[in-house]
Amino acid sequence: MSEDAKFSKTDLPLQKNHQWTATTGFRIAALDRGAIRFEFPQDWICVPDEDCVKFYDHKPPADNCRLAVSRQRLPELTDRIELSALVRSAAQGDSRGLYQTSDLCQITRPSIELAWVEFQFTDLDLKHEARSRFCFARGAGVSALITLEFWQEDSERFIPVWEHVMNTLSLGEFILDPTSGARVQRNHPQTG
């Protein structure tokens, strides 16, 4: 990874009485000291990249699914833009000729709001039909872009992974001590 890379992976031994708990078969990803946190399949591989952190079901190039997550540092005005517009804007920048295959799904929970949509495209190198889900989430002063890509015939295997990531996603719960799981208070955006 280059010296300019925004992400790096650090494995730390947990304290004996740590407070981390994950659903059986899953691990917790805590990006940017907890700014973005979710569960991902236990046997998946985590690979930091220059603009995001990627999680693969198998080591590339033998992978069939890729989950990519990045914290978005956007101007304050972005909080006033509809999430649906942000999701569509992210997809418009994609050069693979995406074709929307689902309605926009919007979810609001007490501390987070998110919107996502699924697209279909043809992998030009492999001549293989694939799916891509784009999600934009924001809450507690944090914004995230999350994508999941998989082969069309693997939809039944990987859609539950997407649903689990969406259900366990939290934003802005910063971690004071990652070896204990102790959290810092939520980062509430300033109002006014």
Eight-class DSSP state of 45: E
What is the reported pLDDT for 164? 98
Mean pLDDT of 35-54: 94
Residue 96, C-beta contacts closer than 8 angstroms, at least 6 positions apart? 121, 122, 123, 124
Token pair listed for 178 = 């990652």
**pLDDT over threshold 90, residue 33:** no
Query: What are the structural domain ranges in the chain?
Result: 26-178
* Residue corresponding to tokens 């907890």: 34
What is the reported pLDDT for 151? 96
pLDDT band at 184 (very low <50, low <70, confident <90, very high): low
**pLDDT over threshold 70, residue 27:** yes
Instruction: Count each helix (H run) and each strand (E run) in the chain, helices first.
Output: 2, 13
**pLDDT over threshold 80, residue 47:** yes
What is the reported pLDDT for 87? 82
Q: How do beta strands 99-100 and 112-123 pair?
A: antiparallel
pLDDT band at 190 (very low <50, low <70, confident <90, very high): very low
What is the reported pLDDT for 189? 43
Mean pLDDT of 3-18: 71
HEC states along 75-112? CHHHHHCCHHHHHHHHHHCCCCCCEECCCCEEEEECCE
26-178: CATH superfamily: Mog1/PsbP, alpha/beta/alpha sandwich (3.40.1000.10)
pLDDT band at 10 (very low <50, low <70, confident <90, very high): confident
